[in-house]
Structure 1
Amino acid sequence: MFAWWFQAHWWLLGIYTVAAVLIALSVPLLYRLFGYKMQDEALWLHERNLREHATLMQRLENARESLTELNITAGVKQANILTDILDDYRSVVETRFIGKQFAPITYLNAARSVQEHVVQNLTDMVAVGHSLAGLNRQAAQSDLHQEQQQRITTLLAENDKFFTALNETAVEVANIRSVSEFARLDTLARLVSLAQTASHTGTQS
């Protein structure tokens, strides 16, 4: 008798169930509606941009100092060029994409991958430079000396190719107004291709 008296009516259980479902479904909707999702994405992109920028700049500065000590002037020049590119990239991300309706993750990832590969090339150049410094003390190693010089030339040429792709894409990306326009960027496709090549090369080295 007691259990029967306090048992819930089926229609009340139905109302509670529907209300619970509606509340559960409304949470992500309200999350988007009130802009919390955009705020969280903007914060994530901002923090990621600052973190990656600081890491790359530190690696780049270390490479620049070593290249200067080794008197590899072409490498120092490329390090200075990349510094400007990194600063421009950070500015574009901060002013063009953070807090906006869209962020072209494909471009951001591809550009960062290429930037990282340029830094790695400069770091490799430092290693080759130290090798050359040792060979300079051994006159009999002329063939190896020439091989190492060619290695530096190859790294410089590869970086120049990356610089061109980064600069050309950055100009077009700065004028993009919607996500759909990214699919039509030939320069972006080339940058993505270079990023994939750079990533593959990095895993092989």
Structure 2
Amino acid sequence: MQVTASNLIGVDLITGQTIEGEGHVIVTAFSLHRAINQMNPTARCIMHTHQPYVASLNCLQDPRLLMVHQESCSFYGKIAYDSIYNGVSDNEEEGKRLAQVLQDKEILFQSNHGVTAAGSTVAYTFGQLYYLERACMYQMMAMKTGRQLKEIPTDIVMKTKENGDRYDWEIFFDAMKRMLLAKGSRFDC
């Protein structure tokens, strides 16, 4: 399904009923998004995806994103890992459990599943998911060689992360929209 401005709905966080737009609430999305938003009110935008490299990493016994590439450094200290797969998150308790695992982190790796990102804006949250997929891709490709991974020293990781924390996500998001429009893709947000 393509997400567009016209198919977004507003949902009452108490009742779970649609209050804006047309459509019904997807229970799995509502249970997780509501729980995260209630636990962390600064999470104004919550996105959940099944990107191939992140999802593949989540299929491993140890799904940790290692600090082996420049892109990885941006996520130092931002990722929470859920090691339990309980099937589809279709109830309030599972949403609360996942929100508790995430706590104040921005990224939730969900075992045998996908990833959830929580951020302050759409641009920031989208950017985090975009670069997270790249970081996971580099790690998975390096792991495929069977050779030992070379981790970046923590002091360099921190320095690189600080530099990345100053990134202007609105400029990145606008550039991505322009790229998609130039290719003739529909992008309504």
Q: Which has the higher strand share?
A: 2
TM-score by length of 1: 0.31
Question: Based on CA coordinates, which of the two structures has the bigger radius of gyration?
Answer: 1
Q: Which has the higher contact order (CA 8 A, sep 6+)?
A: 2
Q: Which has the higher helix share?
A: 1
TM-score by length of 2: 0.33
